[in-house]
C-alpha cells in the first residue's frame, strides 16, 4: 500500500495487515471522507497530519498535569489520566490510519468526563500545544457521539438493521 501525505510527493510504504476496510469505515464514521484511491493509495488531509504532528511536539514536562485541577485539587489520579496522557491518546485516536476504537476506554477507564475544559493545561504548555481545543474537546465529542447522542443511537440501530436486511 502506498500512502501520500498531504499534497506532496513523499511516499511511504507500509503494511497495514489488510485494514483498508476498517480504516475506510472509521474515517467515514468520524466525518472524514473515504479517500482511498483504486490503486490502494491513501490521501491524507494536511490538517489531519498537522494535528497529529502538533501532539508530537509534547516534551513531557508534565506542567499540564501539575495545573490540572482534577488531579491537583481533587486527587482523582485513579479515575482521570490527565491532559498529558489525553494528548497521547489523541495522537493515536486522530491519526488518519488508526483503526483502534478507544472511545469506551476514554469514557470509563481514562475518565475524560472529569475534564471541565478550564484550559489551564493549554495556558501552561511551553510548546503552545492547543491541548484543550485540539485534543480534549474532540475526544470528548467522540465519547458523546458514541454514548450520549440519541440521534446517533437511532442512526446506528437503523444502519445495523439495514445491514442485516441486506445480508439475508
User: What tens digit of pLDDT does each residue of 10-20 get?
Assistant: 333 333 433 44
Cell (9 digits) for 69: 485541577
How many Cβ atoms from other residues are within 10 Å of residue 35's Cβ?
A: 15
pLDDT at 133: 94
pLDDT at 3: 45
Task: Walk me through the domains of the chain, giving residue ranges and CATH numbers.
Answer: 1-44 (no CATH), 46-167 (1.10.1060.10)
| Burial of residue 9 (number of CB atoms within 10 Å: 0-12, 13-18, 19+) | exposed
pTM of this structure: 0.67
Cell (9 digits) for 147: 454514548
In terms of phi and psi (left: phi > 0; alpha: psi -120 to 50; beta: otherwise), the region of 46 is alpha
Cell (9 digits) for 65: 498535569
Residue range 80-103, pLDDT digits in tens: 999 999 999 999 988 878 888 888
Amino acid at each position: 500500500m502506498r500512502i501520500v501525505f498531504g499534497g506532496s510527493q513523499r511516499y511511504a510504504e507500509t503494511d497495514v495487515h489488510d485494514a483498508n476496510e476498517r480504516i475506510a469505515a472509521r474515517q467515514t464514521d468520524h466525518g472524514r471522507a473515504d479517500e482511498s484511491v483504486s490503486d490502494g493509495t491513501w490521501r491524507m488531509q494536511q490538517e489531519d497530519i498537522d494535528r497529529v504532528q502538533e501532539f508530537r511536539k509534547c516534551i513531557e514536562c508534565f506542567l499540564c498535569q501539575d495545573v490540572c485541577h482534577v488531579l491537583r485539587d481533587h486527587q482523582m489520579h485513579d479515575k482521570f489520566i490527565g491532559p498529558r496522557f489525553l494528548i497521547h491518546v489523541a495522537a493515536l485516536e486522530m491519526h488518519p490510519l488508526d483503526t483502534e476504537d478507544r472511545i469506551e476506554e476514554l469514557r470509563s477507564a481514562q475518565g475524560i468526563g472529569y475534564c471541565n475544559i478550564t484550559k489551564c493545561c493549554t495556558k501552561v504548555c511551553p510548546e503552545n500545544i492547543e491541548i484543550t481545543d485540539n485534543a480534549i474537546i474532540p475526544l470528548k465529542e467522540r465519547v458523546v457521539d458514541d454514548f450520549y447522542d440519541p440521534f446517533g443511537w437511532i442512526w446506528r440501530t437503523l444502519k445495523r438493521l439495514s445491514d442485516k436486511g441486506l445480508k439475508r
